[in-house]
Amino acid sequence: MKLKDVMKELELLGTAQNRKIYKRHGAGDNMFGVSFANLNKLKKKLKGEHDLGVELWETGNVDAQSLATMIMDPAKLKAKLVEKWVNNLQYYMTADLLVQVIRGTDFYSKYIDKWTKSKKEYVKRLGYHLVSQEARHNEELNDKFFEKYLSTIGKEIQSSPNRAKEGMNTALVVIGLRNSKLNKKALEVAKKVGKIEIDHGETSCKSYSALDSIKKGKLVRK
């Protein structure tokens, strides 16, 4: 399918109710309000169309970008292009979806430190979500890698931008559940920073306590 045809289909699939909901979450005006159920149906039709995925992301439309993350091939992405996308993020949900694509590239690890140090809200959020993914899935990394981020979270989380703060809070919990040594250090940080309040806008979403989540969570490794 061509880009214009996919965009037309996305527009037809959008609903006023979804637009209202997505806007409350901060999606902005450049979206149609397509459900993820319908995006997944389109994903099956467009699977493997990497170049189309790149074109979809470049539109800046939230629904198109969400679909793009479902059909792009991470192995075909270039670092310079991904860096441009990350620096231009405008919505936390598309940042979260892009994380999964970026982690499939062979260069993502080179950017984690840079992105977690960013002053930009969504760039920093994405960086810390990558840290969370590393804590969950990368068994080769030693504890020092994560201790560095625990230290930074302790110093910066309360003064960080809203959605970046949320990403850091998630990383604090996930690192704390990686193993017993990191659990102890993460608990110390969580006690120090206290509950992190996130502004969720006009939604029913609630902030959660990292300290409680670490205490109640199950360690991945001893």
Among 24, 59, 78, give the residue marking a domain's end.
Answer: 78
Residue 85 lies in a domain: no
Q: Which of 78, 94, 128 is at the close of a domain?
A: 78
Number of separate domains in the chain: 2
Q: Are residues 222 and 115 in the same domain?
A: yes
Residue after which a domain boundary falls, among 60, 78, 96: 78
* Angle at alpha carbon of residue 56, lines to 71 and 24, rounded to 5°: 100
**194 lies in some domain:** yes
In SS3 terms, the chain reads as CCHHHHHHHHHHHCCHHHHHHHHHCCCCCCCCCCCHHHHHHHHHHHCCCHHHHHHHHHCCCHHHHHHHHHHCCHHHCCHHHHHHHHHCCCCHHHHHHHHHHHCCCCCHHHCHHHHHCCCCHHHHHHHHHHHHHHHHHCCCCCHHHHHHHHHHHHHHHHHCCHHHHHHHHHHHHHHHCCCHHHHHHHHHHHHHHCCCCCCCCCCCCCCCCHHHHHHHCCCCCC
> Is residue 118 domain-shared with residue 165, that is, in the same domain?
yes
- pTM for the full model? 0.95
Same domain, 171 and 116: yes
Q: Is residue 39 part of a domain?
A: yes
118 and 221 share a domain? Answer: yes
- Domain match, 16 and 67 both: yes
**147 token code pair:** 């201790």
Q: Are 119 and 220 in the same domain?
A: yes
Question: Is the dihedral angle over the CA atoms 71, 135, 129, 114 positive or is it negative?
Answer: negative
Tell me: do 74 and 1 sit in the same domain: yes
Same domain, 121 and 205: yes
Task: Report yes or no on 104 lying in a domain.
Answer: no
Question: What is the per-residue pLDDT for 91?
Answer: 98
Claim to verify: residue 74 and residue 115 sit in the same structural domain: no
Q: Tens-of-pLDDT digits for all 222 residues of the chain? A: 899 999 999 999 999 999 999 999 999 999 999 999 999 999 999 999 999 999 999 999 999 999 999 999 999 999 999 999 999 999 999 999 999 999 999 999 999 999 999 999 999 999 999 999 999 999 999 999 999 999 999 999 999 999 999 999 999 999 999 999 999 999 999 999 999 999 998 899 999 999 999 999 999 887
- Look at residue 92 and tell me if it is in a domain: no
Are 65 and 139 contained in the same domain? no
What is the rounded (10 degree) CA torsion for 31, 166, 132, 34? -20
> Is 165 within the bounds of a domain?
yes
Query: Cα 165 to chain center, whole Å?
Result: 12
Predicted confidence at residue 172, as pLDDT, reads 99
98 in a domain, yes or no?
Answer: no
**Does 160 share its domain with 63?**
no
Are residues 19 and 71 part of one domain? yes
Please state, in angstroms and rounded to a whole number, the distance separating the CA atoms of residues 32 and 35: 9
What is the widest separation between alpha-carbon atoms in the chain? Answer: 53
Domain range spanning residue 144?
111-222
Q: What is the pLDDT of residue 221?
A: 83
Residue 186 lies in a domain: yes
